[in-house]
Amino acid sequence: MKRRIVLMVVFSLFCMITKFENNCFAVDAKVETKAKYTIGFSQATITEPWRLLFNKELRIEADKYPEIELLVRDGLDDAQKQIADVEEFISRKVDVILISPKVAQDLTPVVNKAMDHNIPVIVLDRDLSNKKYTQFIGGDNKLIGRTAGEYAVKRLGGKGKAKGNIVEIWGGMAATPAQDRHSGFAESIRQEKGIKNLIPPKDGDWKQDLAYDIMADALEKFDKIDLVYAHNDPMAYGAFLAAKDMGREKEIMFLGIDAIPAEGIKWVNQGNLTATFLYMTPGAEGIRQAMKLLKGEKIAPNVVLPTMVIDSTNAAEILKKNGLL
């Protein structure tokens, strides 16, 4: 202890004599406190703009808490890679795991394993096959699908009078959001005998290029398509581009989901999409809920994020608020 005090005195005298006092103590001020908690985040993929925004907002929120170390892993659109990432978090004995699973069935066992090791797990965006986790955060995909269906009915003539041929382009068919977005939409249009779904379920896997191909095929087979409902905005835009390349984009309405300002809302404002439906990213809320848990607070088993319709009536206003117009 005496030796440490002597060294500190000598160091201070050196700073004063060499006139480097400010620099010396600036270096000392940069010593950071070691992180108190470790949070592991397993993302399904970063190939989609919505996922990139998801990661960005999660990191921004995490930066507000110097007491945490955040480990982020990209699942590379591969369930086996995600399983390995969660196994790593378990072996490292992280304090909390956040996960947005690619598919429910494959990721459920490893999440259950983490819980068996007393590691809390917060599931983001896509649900699992059972409820053995600490909390789920995400939008109500069935509600969003139902809202999209109600909007489609209104635009096709109104309840009880709606008529039209539609094309539905699925996201990942094994993913719970896609299943819920389909079932919610189907609930809204089921009673409308004048609405006809032209094609069997086709998996666009959330990708613009795959949706382009699905739509191009539909355009070749059917002379009349009134509306496209895609499970996210990139796929809706891919369908729009396919129709545009065949000179038929003006005769079709295009509905998407996500409402990223620089993407879906911009396309609505440009007139490329008819409407998009907000699906908030859960990253920032995931960090907030994890911190509550780590501080000993109780957290709800479910956090439902809000939604809204964005079309020509409000797209420009939202873009202005985000500094994009």
Q: Which amino acid is at 251?
A: E
Q: What three-state secondary structure class fits 298?
A: coil
Separation of alpha carbons 234 and 237, rounded Å: 5
The DSSP string of 151-213 is HHHHHTT-TTT-EEEEEEEBS-TTSHHHHHHHHHHHHHHTT-TEEEE-S---B-TT-HHHHHH
What pLDDT is recorded for position 175? 87
Distances (CA, A) of 174 to 103, 205, 242: 6, 9, 25
Angle of CA points 254, 260, 262, to nearest 5°: 95
Q: Where are the CATH 3.40.50.2300 domain residues in the chain?
A: 37-139+281-305, 141-280+311-321
What pLDDT is recorded for position 31? 38
What pLDDT is recorded for position 174? 86
Burial of 190 (0-12, 13-18, 19+ CB in 10 A): exposed
Q: Which amino acid is at 3?
A: R
Residue closest to 152 by CA, chosen among 97, 104, 208, 196: 196
pLDDT tens digits in sequence order for the chain, 325 residues long: 434 443 443 344 334 434 433 444 333 333 344 579 999 999 999 988 899 999 999 999 999 999 999 999 999 999 999 999 999 999 999 999 999 999 999 999 999 999 999 999 999 999 999 999 999 999 999 999 999 999 999 999 999 999 999 999 999 898 889 999 999 999 999 999 999 999 999 999 999 999 999 999 999 999 999 999 999 999 999 999 999 999 999 999 999 999 999 999 999 999 999 999 999 999 999 999 999 999 999 999 999 999 999 999 999 999 999 999 9
37-43: strand order across its sheet: 68-74, 37-43, 96-100, 121-124, 135-139, 302-305
Paired strand residues for 138: 304
Q: How many helices (H) and strands (E) does the chain have?
A: 12, 12
What pLDDT is recorded for position 29? 35
What pLDDT is recorded for position 118? 98
CATH of the structural domain 37-139+281-305, one choice from 3.40.50.620, 3.40.50.970, 3.30.390.50, 3.40.50.2300: 3.40.50.2300
Fold classified for 141-280+311-321? Rossmann fold (3.40.50)
User: Own/partner pairs for 74-79, CB < 8 Å, 24+ apart?
Assistant: 74/43, 74/45, 74/46, 75/42, 75/43, 75/44, 75/45, 75/102, 76/45, 77/44, 77/45, 77/47, 77/102, 78/102, 79/103, 79/106, 79/107
What pLDDT is recorded for position 9? 39
227-230: strand order across its sheet: 194-197, 163-169, 227-230, 253-258, 275-278, 309-310
What pLDDT is recorded for position 35? 73
What pLDDT is recorded for position 137? 98
What pLDDT is recorded for position 48? 86
What pLDDT is recorded for position 34? 53
What pLDDT is recorded for position 33? 45
Cβ neighbour number for residue 297 with a 10 Å cutoff: 9
Separation of alpha carbons 102 and 80, rounded Å: 10
